[in-house]
Amino acid sequence: MQNDSGKTTSIWMTTAQVPDQPVLTENIHADVCIVGAGIAGMSTAYMLSREGKSVVVLDDGAIGGGQTARTTAHLSNVLSHRYYELEQIHGQDNAKLIAQSHTTAINTIEAIATREKIDCDLERLHGYLFPPDLQSTDEIKRELAAVHRLGLTDVELINKAPSLDIDTGLCLRFPHQGQFDPLKYLSGLAAAIQRQGGKIYTNTHVEKISGGATAHVETSNGRVVTANAVVVATNSPISNLATMHFKQAPYITYVIGAKVPRGSIPKALYWDTLDPYHYIRLQSIDEQSDVLIVGGEDHKTGQADDADARYARLEAWTKERFPMAQDIVYRWSGQVMNADDGIAYIGKNPLDEENSYIVTGDTGIGMTHGTIAGLLLTDMILGRKNDWEKVYDPLRVRVGATGEFLFENVNVALQYLDWVTPGEVDAVEKITPSTGAIVRRGLTKVAAYRDENGTLHEHSAVCTHLKCIVAWNSAEKTWDCPCHGSRFDAQGKVINGPAIDGLAPVEQ
Ligand SMILES: Cc1cc2nc3c(=O)[nH]c(=O)nc-3n(C[C@H](O)[C@H](O)[C@H](O)COP(=O)(O)OP(=O)(O)OC[C@H]3O[C@@H](n4cnc5c(N)ncnc54)[C@H](O)[C@@H]3O)c2cc1C
Ligand code: FES
């Protein structure tokens, strides 16, 4: 559940072995440089290298070590927004393409796993979308009509979500969904990319990116990759200071894994229609047991620090609906970037010159969005027409998403009030081992962390992106920025963009 550093560990981190890669120690050139080795970057690298392009992938951690290691890995064309909402926001033709693109992505993952013989526990199964109570079935009926209009004609209305110990009332069954082990899948992609001539470097932090006729990518150890195109797949783009970060919002989401007797719950994907919603699936771990994986309880990043209460609510919710759930054997959390209009931004970086691409804002549906990014960006870089280009264009403006845009940006503006509030403790002596707190010091604030040995580590609490004040996340032992989701480890090292630099040290 927790590793040595106190951070939570997802089920995949304990089941998959991702191969180590070297650090980049020389200047090199490639057709395409991809920054970020999560599902989006690795899918893009795989598809481009299969087309004969030379690719270089850079990541400052391990392959899949970002949010891809923390996913629950539902492979689904059921998104966080309902299709009737997406139809209103994006129009019917675009909504049809959205549904089609996610179906294609599931098929693509299956085709790649088969072609490359990747043993990643891929299974096809049904998905069930159910209302939280018997009174809320209108949304289900409305959604059924929308999905049929948009081409998902095999979705059916059924009387009750199976396997749940409560009566859900009417629910929708989506056939041909899937699930897999994301890290085993990325390990297989890594082998295929390398076989196709691609190069992958890990523990290589990228500090500067510029597009143009020749794109430049500079690393913190002073190496440069030049390329004909650059794809920034860092989940939250580090090559775009502002535009994209006003169009999406970071949320932390929580997961528990409960042991259940093997086969006691039929394998399927389940989601309720709450906001935030619960997402559920099963993973077999041995002959006797499955793990029932349940997620939800999302909150805006850096704006709550009550993980234990959220895990407890998830456990109570789970045990009420699945009484066979036994010990909780996993607890973890991660961050999702929610786009204002419900789908990812994939395409040209609006704030850079030509040949510079981004993928971000997948709104918690990163497995299929990351695969869509691979398909779409490969076509764009190869100069091929793709109907999805306009749908996922990072520069798109959807009037129907204005309310969400205003809500999130007012929320961000309010975070700057943290500059004038007192610190959480008035003296660092009050900070106990393995915890952190914000301390006011004159006109500024300090992020103070006392490690397990009692040594105090002080950094500026000012986020290096656009200067909001970070907040302590006691579950993951990170400093989280409440504005656009940059995250830093307890020692101030950046672990999530959009920030590129770590928190500045404070002189003792
Ligand atoms: C708890 C949870 C449950 C989820 N469940 C689902 C689900 O069931 N289905 C689904 O489809 N999606 C789900 N998601 C969403 C999905 O996991 C993510 O959206 C997806 O993994 C994002 O992939 P990515 O490649 O964009 O980013 P990441 O996997 O985060 O990869 C980005 C990479 O960029 C690297 N990087 C960042 N900055 C730099 C830098 N400066 N230099 C070099 N490298 C850098 C990072 O190290 C990282 O490896 C879930 C997410 C969470 C947190
Ligand atoms: S992430 Fe933008 S100010 Fe911190």
- CATH code: domain of residue 477: 2.102.10.10
Q: Is residue 351 part of a domain?
A: yes
- Closest ligand to C-alpha of residue 370 is 1
- Which positions of the chain have pLDDT values less than 70? 1-7, 16, 507-508
Closest atom of ligand 1 to CA, residue 74: 8
Q: Which atom of ligand 2 approaches the CA of 484 most closely?
A: 1
167 CA distance to ligand 1 middle (Å): 34
* Rounded Cα–Cα distance for residues 108 and 55 (Å): 20
Strand extents, DSSP E, 153-247: 156-158, 171-179, 199-201, 206-210, 215-219, 224-232
In this prediction, residue 44 carries a pLDDT of: 98
What is the distance in A from the centroid of ligand 2 to the CA of 362? 18
- Cβ of 234 below 6 Å from ligand 1: yes
Ligand closest to 499 (CA) is: 2
Q: How many CB atoms within 10 Å of residue 454?
A: 10
39-50 and 182-195 helices, crossing angle to 10°: 30
* Closest atom of ligand 2 relative to the 498 alpha carbon: 1
Q: Is residue 326 part of a domain?
A: no
Tokens of 410: 């007012």
Ligand 1 center–CA 288 separation, angstroms: 31
Cα–ligand 2 centroid distance for 470 (angstroms): 8
What gap in Å lies between CA 309 and CA 77, rounded to an integer?
A: 31
Residue 299 lies in a domain: no
Instruction: Count other C-beta atoms under 10 Å from residue 293's C-beta.
Output: 23
Report the 3 state secondary structure along 16-37: CCCCCCCCCCCCEEEEEEEECC
Ligand showing the shortest atom-to-Cα distance for residue 12: 1
Which pLDDT score, from 0 to 100, does residue 14 have? 85
Q: Is 39 in the pocket of ligand 1 (CB under 6 A)?
A: yes
Q: How far apart are CA 407 and CA 401, in angstroms?
A: 10
Question: Ligand 2 center to residue 2 CA distance, Å?
Answer: 27
pTM for the whole thing?
A: 0.96
pLDDT, residue 133, reads 83
So what's the pLDDT on residue 416?
A: 83
Same domain (yes/no): 444, 396: no
Pair (358, 400) in one structural domain: yes
- The protein residue with its alpha carbon nearest to ligand 2, atom 1, reads 484
- What does each C-alpha distance from 205 to 337, 486, 496, 502 come to in angstroms? 21, 15, 11, 11
* 455 to 429, 450, 480, 503: CA distances (angstroms): 11, 5, 21, 18
Is 429 domain-assigned? yes
Has residue 4 been placed in a domain?
Answer: no
In whole angstroms, give the CA distance from residue 478 to residue 500: 16
Give 486 Cα–ligand 1 centroid separation in angstroms.
13
**Residue at a domain's end among 382, 407, 432:** 407
Q: What digits encode the pLDDT tens for the residues 66-83? A: 999 999 999 999 999 999
Ligand 1 centroid, distance to 63 Cα (angstroms): 11
What's residue 466's pLDDT? Answer: 92
Distance of CA 430 to the CA centre of its chain: 35
Looking at the structure, do residues 434 and 370 belong to the same domain, yes or no?
no
Domain count, the chain: 2
- Matching residue, tokens 């899949």: 64
Among the three residues 407, 429, 457, which one is the final residue of a domain in this structure? 407
Q: pLDDT (tens digit, 9 = 90+) per residue, 147-193?
A: 999 999 999 999 988 877 888 889 999 999 999 999 999 999 999 99
pLDDT at residue number 173: 97
The CATH number of the domain holding residue 210 is 3.50.50.60
If asked whether residues 359 and 483 sit together in one domain, one would say no
Q: Which of 11, 18, 47, 72 has most ligand 1 atoms within 8 Å of its beta carbon, as the pocket-test mutant? A: 72
Q: Is 374 in the pocket of ligand 1 (CB under 6 A)?
A: no
Q: Looking at residue 16, what is its pLDDT?
A: 67
- Closest ligand 2 atom to Cα of 499: 1
- Give the pLDDT of residue 1: 64
Nearest ligand, CA of residue 488?
2
| Domain residue limits at 229 | 17-71+183-240+342-407
From the CA of 21, which ligand is nearest?
1
Contact 204, 8 (CB under 8 A): no
- Dihedral pair phi/psi, residue 454, rounded to 5°: 95, -5
Which helix (H) or strand (E) segment holds residue 215: the answer is strand 215-219
- State residue 390's pLDDT score: 97
Protein residues with CB under 6 Å of any ligand 2 atom: 463, 465-468, 481, 483-486, 498-499
Final residue of a domain: which of 373, 407, 441? Answer: 407
